Structure 1
Amino acid sequence: MIAVMIAGVVAGLVSLFVTRFLITAFRTRGLGQPILGKEDRGPEHHMAKQGTPTMGGIAIIVAALVGWLAAHVRDGLPFSTQGLIIWVGVLAMATMGFLDDFIKVRKRHNRGIFWKQKNYITMAMSFGIAWWLVAQTGISETISLTRADYPGWDVPTWLYIIVAGLVIWSTTNAVNVTDGLDGLAGGSALMAYGGFMIIGYTALRFPDIYGAVVNPLDLTVLAAAFAGACMGFLWFNAAPARIIMGDVGALAIGSSLALLALTTNTLLLLVFLCGINVMEAGSVAVQMSVFKASGRKKRLFRMTPIHHHFELLGWPETTVIIRFWLIAAICVGAALGVFIGDFTRVSNIGVP
């Protein structure tokens, strides 16, 4: 438990200092976020944010990594293969996001790498990370909800890799889509990381039930490190944001959440833990389907992702953010309710 606290506290403090440094450094160099205008069907009501320092997700990644490493200074917490692979995957996705952000800043236009190219590259990376995780670690290759054997659907290795790759890719993109309002993506991710901390710590304390989770303490520490990093970043990212996360942060957060779900055998539970991200990405998919089905004449929402729809209905940005945070909290609470309910049921088996 001490290692978990060290990871969270160290990551939070480092995030505060690094984020503050990035704000000054990026503002001095003019590395500000471009905003799509009316001509690009963008959220022109956000034009006032143009020029806000971006790529603040660098602070989250650096802080989480430092917090995770600091927790390993104590005896009794070795580096796990799962943790190392997760970090390689996170850094790979973050690099992709950084390149996208950097191109946007240099071109002074909010279109970096062409979206189809970006999708293909991140999808290929997702499958590669999933294959590596399966090939080099002892994670369970079952479709699971709360533990490896519940429901524990066995699938061939090749199919599991495809499913895992799609989960990584879709979660990464869902968090990226959510990152459109000040603090929305960071705040909702913080809650999801908190959920994974509880799941990981429960797996650590009850190995007779969650023995299929390999190195649960290291996974719990990693979740705590990211939670602390998000908390420190939100100090400056809360509305009105002094720095924007950027794709570098969104892709890193999304991939880490997906990989935590895979390594804790809670693949299906991720739909609830990241419920707000599912809602945001789902709104885009529904909007595109309706638009194409109507011959490009009708739209279900005024603008997607759906947080822009509510802004255009007249909700202040802070109202949308707080209400979406509440939805995220309800989703995480529901996920933990399912997890704890299953734990209670299993732990009481055989008890008179």
Structure 2
Amino acid sequence: MENILLVDDEQNVLNGYRRSLRGRFEVDTALSAAEAFEKIDRHGAYPVVISDMRMPNMNGVEFLARLKERHPDTVRVLLTGNSDQATAVQAINRGDVFRFLNKPCPPDELGATVATAIEHHRLLKVERDLLENTVKGAVATLVELLSLVRPEVLGQTMRLREQLRHLDVASLAGVEPWTLETAVLLSQLGYTTLSESLVARAQSGRAAGPREQQQIEGAVALSFKLIRRIPRLDQVAEIVRYQEKNFDGTGWPNDEVGGSAIPAGARCLKVLLDFDRRLNDGATREQALADLQRHPDRYDPAVLDALAKRLCAGEDGSERLVTVHALTDRMVLVDDVVTQTGVLLIPKGMRASDSVQAHLQRFHASGQIEEFVKVFESE
């Protein structure tokens, strides 16, 4: 039985609605928008929320608009009097409200509307899940292709994903974990157009000349352009676009965006990128963090605090040598895997996914790499 939320500042009205829906739906109630948000925070998103228009402190249109920002999949219904219909129509036109009902609302009409809203929510969820799985498959394919075409580019991408595990994302407002991880995986896509030496310079953070810097910026811009063509990755594209933007608004893109106006995920990615560059240059994690903390103009302090919090918690695990046939996806390569002719096969920092395992085993079978590799395995 689906659970819905009714919001009205009159207890008698709520009691009446609950009685009319009894036996068909599980009904929670709230006497104000504030109480409704408290229940949503405790319960999680409801499939359907029905709100009265006229309530103190926050009216129904404003409440449902804010609810849409926080839980866009929740189907929102507005109860209105005759004098409020113009406002209700505007809310529907903006997409804040699925349907509005006149007060007093007959029980049969209320029940039919709830049933329709629940079915609409189910269809939205099915469509979203199908599209997200399609997008995830597309992202996985791009990452696999990157591993074959430019392993040195993928190396930093995989290290960034590992560094993401050291970031307390849950404590950061506006950061959705899947969106940020996808942005991390695709952030270096445009680097496939750069030479190996320029990729190495970009990944180390060493100063580049004007022409080289222009090429690096062009590669980031290309990543943005490619990603925004993929459905549902608009937010990912914006994160990638602003990945090198300093918190004070300097850097590139050269625009007026700065501070909290920079996408939250981009502020995280900026920290992860520069943290990885310090590690890649030989610093310990503690030294890398301290270096970033010395530049408050470049980084969101909340992101640095989240990184520091996670690093202080430490990480359980150990390094050891294993054969390429004993690798598991819980292991991360500690060193670059290089062929006997000096060609980089798999860069350090990559997790030993199924494709990485198969790749290493093929090259070992042909006698081009050693049997043992050094890995870090989490406990």
Give the TM-score band, short-chain normalised.
under 0.3
Q: TM-score, normalising length from structure 2? A: 0.21
Decide which structure has greater strand share.
2
Decide which structure has greater helix share.
1
Higher relative contact order (CA 8 A, sep 6+): 1
Q: TM-score, normalising length from structure 1? A: 0.22
